[in-house]
Amino acid sequence: MKLSYLFERLSKYAGLSAAILVLVLSLLVAYDALMRYLFSEGSIALQELEWHLFDILFLLGLSYALKHDKHVRVDIFFERYSLDTRAIVQILSMLLLVIPFALLMIVDAYDMTVQSYVQHEVSADPGGLGSRWIIKAVLVLGFVLLIMQAVSEVLKAYHRLENKSLLFKTFVGVALVATLVYMAWYNRMAYWFDPVFLMFALALVLLMAGFQVAFVFGGVALFFALITDEVGLHVLEMLPYRTYGIMGNVTLMAVPLFIFMGLILEKSKMAEELLHAMGQLFGSIRGGLAVSVVLVGAILAASTGIVGASVVMMSLIALPLMLKQGYSPALASDSIAASGTLGQLIPPSIVLIVLGDQMHLSVGDLFRAAVVPGLLLIVLYIIYILLLAWLKKDAAPAIVSTKPYGKVVKSALKAIIPPLLLIGAVLGSIFAGIASPTESAAIGVLGAMALAAYNGVFSYELLRYASVETVKLTAMIFMILIGATAFSLVFNELGGGDMALHFFTGEIGNKWTFIFIAMAVIFLLGFFIDFIEIAFVVVPILVPIVASFGIDPIWFAILIAMNLQASFLTPPFGFALFYLKGAAGDKVRTGDIYKGVVPFILLQVIALLIVVLFPELIYLFGK
């Protein structure tokens, strides 16, 4: 345990160092943007320093996220496991997935770093940074720290384990399976099924068993590279270079900045003030409180974009008030869940940034295209709530207020205008082409700090919380991206991409059938796994098929985003429903939540169909 303690301390210091870099990165990008747009002065070295800081941020955060168990897993069954079973899953995950994959990354990344050092690699741009090997060496360091933390996780899990014999039996079973696989490979036995299907099947089994998502994709890729002669480990030699490409992707730099901005706003009391003000503004009409929740959810979506935070905040603040005023538990809870998921679609959505990267599309174009579908959903939600309140008077009663309405309007404007100004500055600069999403996100961070100061809650503790959580979430997202990249390399080498392309263009040959099947698959996968895994693993398979059919990729990306949003609400595994139930506790029953969410899912399907039938809607704000 002394060794575990040492490794934990290293991960802690790495994570806290990365947290400092979050703030530094935000300030540097904001400074760079202001200098270029106001004084026409820019620096290539400064711009490269920004993406170097971004790289260090998420690479140092890998071990820190593992230390805090932030690497996401599908916990449908995992949460029902006994403590011993959870410990064994953790040990197997570290020994069979994390450590082998990290060792592979270290060996290949070390070779890449040495090659860079020997060649005296420098920036290709005049005025750029030299000694490019240094940032490549951070890739090695990040995975060394990850291995150390994985060893610590093994030691901690073993220490917690009460039934040591169960672990021994599990190891015997794993060894037996490994022996059978080795014998089959050694004797060059033919696969019973195509290895492409076996890859997906094994990944799905491990995901459902509760292994961390990122490490499942990386581990499965490594496993099939080892046991498939036509692939081999040489395929994964390209992985550090692919990862280095991710590290230099300026578009993806917007992810931690938007997360940082959202987390600052989460703690700024903005949601609480908005809900109280909007509740008083619309509470005098039947269903007014639920309408307020929808509007506040939209504002939070456009400012924070973090679904879990929005749902939890509104559950804690609005749900008790709605239940106290006699609202139906089903309507009260699910108007909150549905409104909270708007952050999946309404810009600046992390989903759209990831889809833009994976589909090679402009994030600004996706943001513009998502505005009308987002507004469409808001209007459909409000119409449904008002109709339900009119038909069932007891479901959403009006609130009698003695406060003069003029004062209500004034206080509402006071709460609404600051976040709307921030949203207008961030999205307006992107839509107008004035700034990139990354630059707008950095300006948004400064605006979020100003808003927190305006509300009197800006403090060191707030910055520390927001920056530390940003490191954890960013590391989790980019570890999934690295694992998914490895998975895609092996998948494509096995012919999976060609197989999918041939199936849809040759066997089916109809673009509408392809769209229907693709949407159905994404919808069903959304029952079980998060949008990040779908975006990083499934979407790249669909991109060449979309191109072959001549489908508008921006329109298709919006359909995917709307579909992924619906998956957040779908029982029994909708993540928004978990967030809601966790925050609400015993205030609402699970049955009421499932009952009330069905109309909102139908509304999302209707909105999806409208966008399918009228694709020109997404271009109302320009191409």
pLDDT digits (tens, 9 = 90+) for 323-379: 877 888 888 887 888 887 887 888 877 788 888 888 888 888 888 898 899 999 999
Residues 436 and 415 both lie in one domain: yes
- Angle, helix 254-266 to helix 2-39, in steps of 10 degrees: 100
Residues 238 and 256 both lie in one domain: no
Residue type, 1: M
Is residue 491 scored above 70 in pLDDT? yes
Question: Helices marked H in 211-344 — which ranges?
Answer: 213-227, 239-247, 254-266, 270-282, 288-303, 307-324, 329-340
What confidence tens digit (pLDDT) does each residue in 244-302 have? Answer: 888 877 778 888 888 888 788 777 777 677 777 777 777 677 878 888 888 888 887 77
Mean pLDDT over 557-584 rounds to 75
Cα Rg of the chain (Å, integer): 25
Of 103-112, 289-298, 540-549, 587-596, the range with the lowest mean pLDDT is 587-596
Q: How far apart are CA 596 and CA 96, in angstroms?
A: 42
Give a yes or no: residue 405 inside a domain: yes
What confidence tens digit (pLDDT) does each residue in 14-25 have? Answer: 999 999 999 999
Q: How far apart are CA 193 and CA 227, in angstroms?
A: 14
Is residue 134 scored above 80 in pLDDT? yes
Q: How far apart are CA 185 and CA 164, in angstroms?
A: 32
Residues 241 and 296 both lie in one domain: no
Q: Tell me the three state secondary structure of residue 438.
A: helix
Q: How far apart are CA 234 and CA 583, in angstroms?
A: 48
Q: How far apart are CA 356 and CA 362, in angstroms?
A: 6
Mean pLDDT over 389-414 rounds to 76
Share of the chain above pLDDT 70, in %: 91
Long-range contacts of 452-455 (CB under 8 A, 24+ apart): 452/264, 452/265, 452/267, 452/268, 454/418, 455/268, 455/269, 455/270, 455/273
> What pLDDT does residue 566 have?
78
- End position of a domain, from candidates 224, 248, 272: 248
Nearest to 84 by CA among 2, 150, 159, 149: 159
Give a yes or no: residue 243 inside a domain: yes
As a residue count, the chain comes to: 623
Give a yes or no: residue 502 inside a domain: yes
Give a yes or no: residue 21 inside a domain: yes
Tell me the longest C-alpha to C-alpha distance in the chain: 84
Residues 353 and 333 both lie in one domain: yes
- End position of a domain, from candidates 248, 264, 289: 248
Q: Residue 447 — very low, low, confident or very high, per pLDDT cuts 50/70/90? A: confident
Residue 552: count of CB within 10 angstroms of its CB:
14
Nearest to 328 by CA among 395, 399, 397: 395
Which class for 176: exposed (0-12), middle (13-18), buried (19 or more C-beta within 10 A)? exposed
> What pLDDT does residue 400 have?
67
Residues 244 and 288 both lie in one domain: no
Q: Tell me the three state secondary structure of residue 400.
A: coil
| Residues contacting residue 68 through CB under 8 Å, at least 6 positions apart | 472
- Asked whether the CA dihedral 120, 123, 127, 129 is positive or negative, the reply is negative
Q: Are 371 and 563 in contact (CB under 8 A)?
A: no
Of 91-100, 163-172, 285-294, the range with the lowest mean pLDDT is 285-294
Which class for 242: exposed (0-12), middle (13-18), buried (19 or more C-beta within 10 A)? middle
Q: Residue 93 — very low, low, confident or very high, per pLDDT cuts 50/70/90? A: very high
Residues 113 and 218 both lie in one domain: yes
> What pLDDT does residue 101 have?
94
> What pLDDT does residue 506 have?
65
Ranked by mean pLDDT, which of 82-86, 143-147, 198-202, 527-531 comes out on top? 143-147
Mean pLDDT over 404-418 rounds to 77
> What pLDDT does residue 137 have?
92
| pTM listed for this prediction | 0.80
Q: How far apart are CA 386 and CA 288, in angstroms?
A: 8
Helix or strand (DSSP H, E) at 481: helix 460-493
| Ramachandran region, residue 131 (left: φ > 0; alpha: ψ -120 to 50; beta: rest) | left
Mean pLDDT over 124-139 rounds to 84
Q: Residue 471 — very low, low, confident or very high, per pLDDT cuts 50/70/90? A: very high
Mean pLDDT over 464-492 rounds to 87
Residues 284 and 207 both lie in one domain: no
Respond yes or no on whether the N-terminal peptide bond of residue 348 is cis (omega within 30° of 0).
Answer: yes
Residues 169 and 268 both lie in one domain: no
Residues 287 and 304 both lie in one domain: yes
Is residue 308 scored above 80 in pLDDT? no
Q: How far apart are CA 86 and CA 228, in angstroms?
A: 31
Tell me the CA distances in angstroms from 233 to 96, 224, 265, 473, 486, one per residue in order.
Answer: 16, 9, 45, 30, 11
Q: Write down the residue that tokens 């559950």 correspond to.
A: 315
Q: How far apart are CA 485 and CA 236, in angstroms?
A: 10
> What pLDDT does residue 530 have?
64
- Asked whether the CA dihedral 592, 597, 599, 602 is positive or negative, the reply is negative
Residues 230 and 344 both lie in one domain: no
Q: Tell me the three state secondary structure of residue 557.
A: helix
Tell me the CA distances in angstroms from 621 to 281, 616, 617, one per residue in order.
Answer: 29, 10, 9
Domain that holds residue 11: 2-248
Is residue 32 scored above 80 in pLDDT? yes
Q: Are 606 and 380 in contact (CB under 8 A)?
A: yes
Give a yes or no: residue 473 inside a domain: no
Q: Residue 611 — very low, low, confident or very high, per pLDDT cuts 50/70/90? A: very high
Q: Which two tokens stand for residue 395?
A: 């479901």
Task: Please tell me the total count of domains within the chain.
Answer: 2
> What pLDDT does residue 572 have?
59
Is residue 103 scored above 90 in pLDDT? yes
Q: How far apart are CA 314 and CA 330, in angstroms?
A: 15
Of 47-51, 331-335, 555-559, the range with the lowest mean pLDDT is 331-335
Residues 430 and 376 both lie in one domain: yes
Tell me the CA distances in angstroms from 593 to 9, 247, 562, 580, one per residue in order.
Answer: 42, 41, 21, 9
List the beta bridge partners of residue 212. 73
Higher per-residue pLDDT: 382 or 71:
382
Is residue 444 scored above 80 in pLDDT? yes
| Ramachandran region, residue 436 (left: φ > 0; alpha: ψ -120 to 50; beta: rest) | beta
> What pLDDT does residue 583 have?
62
Give a yes or no: residue 468 inside a domain: no
Residues 166 and 260 both lie in one domain: no
Nearest to 214 by CA among 27, 444, 480: 480
- End position of a domain, from candidates 184, 216, 248: 248
Q: How far apart are CA 137 and CA 159, in angstroms?
A: 33
pLDDT averaged over every residue in the chain = 83
| Ramachandran region, residue 120 (left: φ > 0; alpha: ψ -120 to 50; beta: rest) | left
Of 54-68, 344-358, 451-465, the range with the lowest mean pLDDT is 344-358
Give a yes or no: residue 223 inside a domain: yes
Give a yes or no: residue 482 inside a domain: no
